[in-house]
Amino acid sequence: MKIIRFTTQQGKKVMGCDWDGKTASLVEQSADYSFSDTGERVDVVKVLPPVEPSAIICIGLNYRRHAAETGQEIPKYPAVFMKYPGSLAGHKDAIVIPECASDPPEVDYEAELGVIIKKAAKNVPEEEALDYVLGYTCTNDVSARRWQKHAGGFQWTRGKSYDTFCPCGPVMTTTDEITDPQTLAIKCRLNGELMQDSHTSDMVFSVANMIAYLSQSSTLLPGTLILTGTPEGVGFTRKPRVFLAPGDRMEVEIEGIGVLENPVEKEG
């Protein structure tokens, strides 16, 4: 099932399925985390991110060809960093280029598969890890490269946590439709031009491996959103480099999920 979160004409935040671009059928979530279609259709006023994350955990350098294009070795362990929950944005929300990251231009795109945790996960064996997944979504790990690197003291969180730097959505596809997250095509388009064109089979660490690793003596709370890394084709590795500018249009497309769309604006 493909689930959206949205606001109704009454201002309520609800979940729905069978979204046709204008309306959706309300769904109910049971105690066992499954969803059921009520059959009641309502107008979708605004599409929200499919999760209100308790935490946003990100994995860097998790695609082999992306590591190669950056000139770095394949990591032995997942490179873990965080994004502030306040960086979350929804489908068709604007990615806002901060004033402090506009001169010189430095804001880059990163198409990523997002994983949403459904129940508390601690010390989870890899073979059981996917049982803790509620669903999958499209995400964009927007990154201010100068602030990510030397301006932020090489602490990635700062350059990746500005407001709107974590677009997510438009839907969450449940695990009954995606049984193996390592079988998905992933693409990114900038102003209609294909920039990233890869496959989740190129991941260094699988989704199951990441959950097992992250849950070692650490509890992943329900609603945790995991960004699983980006494939090759990011802007800062290109010659000439490509950075986002006001008026640009971003699209992240993942097989079995859909297309996340976001315009780009300048702060202020």
pLDDT, one tens digit per residue, over 178-200 is 999 999 999 999 999 999 999 99
pLDDT, one tens digit per residue, over 231-259 is 999 999 999 999 999 999 999 999 999 99
**CATH code 2.30.30 for 1-47:** yes
What DSSP character marks residue 21? S
Q: What's the rounded Cα separation, in Å, for the pair 162 and 12?
A: 27
Q: What is the pLDDT of residue 150?
A: 80
* Residue 53: closest CA among 19, 21, 87, 78: 87
Architecture, CATH, for domain 49-266:
Alpha-Beta Complex (3.90)
Q: What is the pLDDT of residue 161?
A: 95
Instruction: Tell me the pLDDT of the chain (268 aa) as tens digits.
Output: 999 999 999 999 999 999 999 999 999 988 888 899 999 999 999 999 999 999 999 999 999 999 999 999 999 999 999 999 999 999 999 999 999 999 999 999 999 999 999 999 999 999 999 999 999 999 999 999 998 888 767 778 999 999 999 999 999 999 999 999 999 999 999 999 999 999 999 999 999 999 999 999 999 999 999 999 999 999 999 999 999 999 999 999 999 999 999 999 999 8
Burial 51-89 (b: 16+ CB within 10 A, else e): bebebbbbbbbbbbebbebeeeeeeeebbebebbeebbb
Q: What's the rounded Cα separation, in Å, for the pair 209 and 241?
A: 33
Domain boundaries, the chain: 1-47, 49-266
Q: What is the pLDDT of residue 195?
A: 98
Q: What is the pLDDT of residue 153?
A: 72
Residues near 76 by beta carbon (within 8 Å), at least 6 away in sequence: none
